[in-house]
Amino acid sequence: DLLPPEVCSLLNPAAIYANNEISLHDVEVYGFDYDYTLAQYADSLHPEIFNAARDILIEHYKYPEGIRKYDYNPSFAIRGLHYDIQKSLLMKIDAFHYVQLGTAYRGLQPVPDEEVIDLYGGTQHIPLYQMSDFYGKGPSIKQFMDIFSLPEMALLSCVVDHFLGHGLEFDQAHLYKDVTDAIRDVHVKGLMYQWIERDMEKYILRGDETFAVLSRLVDHGKQLFLITNSPFSFVDKGMRHMVGPDWRQLFDVVIVQADKPSFFTDPRKPFRKLDEKGSLQWDRIASLEKGKIYRQGNLFDFLRLTEWRGPRVLYFGDHLYSDPGGEDLMLRHGWRTGAIIPELEREIRIINTEQYMHSLTWQQALTGLLERMQTYQDAESRQVLASWVKERQELRCLTKALFNAQFGSIFRTFHNPTYFSRRLVRFSDLYMASLSCLLNYRVDFTFYPRRTPLQHEAPLWMDQLCTGCMKTPFLSDMAHIR
């Protein structure tokens, strides 16, 4: 609100961003996940998950009562972080498997950069064999990819903090498993579903926009399907709240409790039909009928029964591994994919603010530098440039804190994209803050990725291109290369 109007339009939080060219004119079938795709949830759900899992640890796993003093901190963690189980280390890793220094935490305390480097054999690099495999679960390192993992990371850090703070010995693997099991129990026991069902106005956001998106697609002759891990009773109540009692008429196929990501890779699980009360039926599934509800199944039978293959299918989800990240979707079956990234809206607003402040600092620094270069010898100009670079580095640390004081942006380290960004680019053709962004585009719109220069395509610094300043250390150092 404090920025000039022209600055606020630098990047639009309601825009859709393309990693790959895709024409909606060619898309005939739209698929959706439910949680955090069709149904967007309020952040107030996270403390409920944290508190319930914390109490489960104390009451069922007999963890120390002192853990109850911890409350959920929504500002602590970000999505996409990695957790080294044996080292109890939560950290941000870039696209090249390097730990971003200053973003490693054990419990709630930062770990010095020197210790992080020492822990990994004198380097910031995490070897490939230790890193997460395709679905985010490596032999010793786990990546937290979905939005539900935010309270899980917070609880894990709080429990580790309590054990370390009280000098209690513990097995890192056992502690990690107990915390993840406690979080899982919140879902398996249906606690989260109960909270949402009791107060949908509080927890479900943008329901009217979801209805508008689905209705618009159907009005233009598109076919729709839903594949979710959530149970039918929960999905039914949520869709009735957002869309109305006839929501099933919008979808050609509805699949619940699909058990993703196994749904995309394991061909052994058959589809089961549910009756109107949600009870399992025993008849063999020879076709997937509109208006009916199916449970579990697998992608291979889905493709065989629907013949929905290739780029005419566009599937949306929020989890980069179990939704748009299913390798079979893109490589083997050619589906186009869209990622829903709710954090994108806030990150873009911060980027706009940072770019505005950065432009002022950049202009002031360059103006002063050019004035000095006209008056003093080149050596002193270099000293001025070095001072300016130092100020830029300090500004870089400030920028990190704007996103998140501990871990910065979910999309970028200081210089490189994050590991999360790498997966986002690899596994999604489009990404956006919410499904409602589709309402801002025609149903035949073509998205083009921005052409970004490769390193060998951009020989000059941008400040050189803008100001004509050619006497820089970069060019002088490169002058001997022929």
Average pLDDT taken over every residue of the chain: 85
274 and 323 co-located in one domain: yes
What percent of the chain shows pLDDT beyond 90?
Answer: 64
Greater confidence, 368 or 478?
368
CA distances to 241, 325, 426 from 330, rounded to whole Å, are 33, 8, 10
- Tell me which of 1, 33, 246, 301 is the catalytic residue: 33
**pLDDT exceeds 60 at position 479:** no
Q: What is the pLDDT of residue 277?
A: 79
Q: Is residue 71 within 8 Å of residue 97, measured between CB atoms?
A: no
Q: What is the CATH number of the domain that holds 216?
A: 3.40.50.1000
**pLDDT exceeds 60 at position 477:** no
Residue 147 belongs to a domain: yes
pLDDT digits (tens, 9 = 90+) for 258-311: 998 888 888 899 999 998 878 888 888 999 999 999 999 999 999 999 999 999
Q: How far is the C-alpha of 55 from the C-alpha of 50, rounded, in Å? A: 9
116 and 162 co-located in one domain: yes
**pLDDT exceeds 50 at position 474:** no
**pLDDT exceeds 70 at position 198:** yes
* 33 among annotated binding-site residues: yes
Three-state secondary-structure class, residue 323: coil
Residue 377 belongs to a domain: no
Q: How far is the C-alpha of 82 from the C-alpha of 144, rounded, in Å? A: 6
pLDDT digits (tens, 9 = 90+) for 442-467: 999 999 998 777 777 755 444 444 44
User: Which residue range(s) make up the domain with 188?
Assistant: 44-197
pLDDT digits (tens, 9 = 90+) for 3-21: 444 444 467 888 999 999 9
Least confident of 13-22, 201-210, 367-376: 367-376
191 and 51 co-located in one domain: yes
Greater confidence, 480 or 169?
169
The reply to whether 84 belongs to the active site is: no
175 and 279 co-located in one domain: no
The last residue of one of the domains, among 343, 370, 392, is 343
What percent of the chain shows pLDDT beyond 70?
Answer: 78
Contacts (Cβ under 8 Å, ≥6 apart) of 89: 83, 104, 105, 106, 111, 116, 119
184 and 218 co-located in one domain: no
Least confident of 193-197, 223-227, 377-381: 377-381
Residue 77 belongs to a domain: yes
Q: What is the pLDDT of residue 455?
A: 73
301 and 167 co-located in one domain: no
158 and 266 co-located in one domain: no
pLDDT digits (tens, 9 = 90+) for 78-97: 999 999 999 999 999 999 99
65 and 160 co-located in one domain: yes
The last residue of one of the domains, among 324, 343, 362, is 343
Residue 106 belongs to a domain: yes
pLDDT digits (tens, 9 = 90+) for 229-272: 999 999 999 999 999 999 999 999 999 999 988 888 888 999 99
Q: How confident is the model at residue 191 (pLDDT cuts 50, 70, 90)?
A: very high
Closest residue by Cα to residue 472 from 393, 416, 462: 462
Residue 65 belongs to a domain: yes
On the CB side of 400, CA atoms within 13 Å amount to: 19
**pLDDT exceeds 80 at position 376:** no
Least confident of 185-194, 248-257, 366-375, 472-481: 472-481
- Tell me which of 1, 35, 118, 301 is the catalytic residue: 35
pLDDT digits (tens, 9 = 90+) for 423-444: 899 889 999 999 999 999 999 9
Q: What is the pLDDT of residue 49?
A: 97
Return the number of other C-beta atoms located less than 10 Å from residue 22's C-beta: 22
54 and 179 co-located in one domain: yes
Q: How confident is the model at residue 195 (pLDDT cuts 50, 70, 90)?
A: very high
Greater confidence, 354 or 100?
100
**pLDDT exceeds 80 at position 359:** no
* 199 among annotated binding-site residues: no
The total number of structural domains that make up the chain: 2
pLDDT digits (tens, 9 = 90+) for 324-355: 545 555 556 789 999 999 999 999 888 877 66
Q: What is the pLDDT of residue 11?
A: 76
Q: What is the pLDDT of residue 458?
A: 58
Q: What is the pLDDT of residue 410?
A: 94
Residue 461 belongs to a domain: no
Give the DSSP per-residue string, 207-242: HHHHHHHHHHHHHTT-EEEEE-SS-HHHHHHHHHHH
**pLDDT exceeds 90 at position 365:** no
Span 407-429, average pLDDT: 91
* 318 among annotated binding-site residues: yes
57 and 177 co-located in one domain: yes
Query: What is the CA 21 to chain-centroid distance, rounded?
Result: 21
Q: What is the pLDDT of residue 132?
A: 57
Q: How far is the C-alpha of 313 from the C-alpha of 252, rounded, in Å? A: 13
* Radius of gyration of the chain from its Cα atoms, rounded to whole angstroms: 25
Return the number of other C-beta atoms located less than 10 Å from residue 115's C-beta: 12
Whole-prediction pTM: 0.84
121 and 78 co-located in one domain: yes
**pLDDT exceeds 90 at position 202:** yes
50 and 193 co-located in one domain: yes
The last residue of one of the domains, among 197, 212, 227, is 197
The reply to whether 1 belongs to the active site is: no
Span 159-164, average pLDDT: 98
Residue 390 belongs to a domain: no
Residue 273 belongs to a domain: yes
Q: What is the pLDDT of residue 470?
A: 42
**pLDDT exceeds 90 at position 68:** yes
Question: Tokens for 373?
Answer: 């270069």
Q: How confident is the model at residue 402 (pLDDT cuts 50, 70, 90)?
A: confident
**pLDDT exceeds 90 at position 401:** no
Q: Please provide the distance, in angstroms rounded to a whole number, between the alpha carbons at the two ends of the chain.
A: 51
Greater confidence, 224 or 367?
224
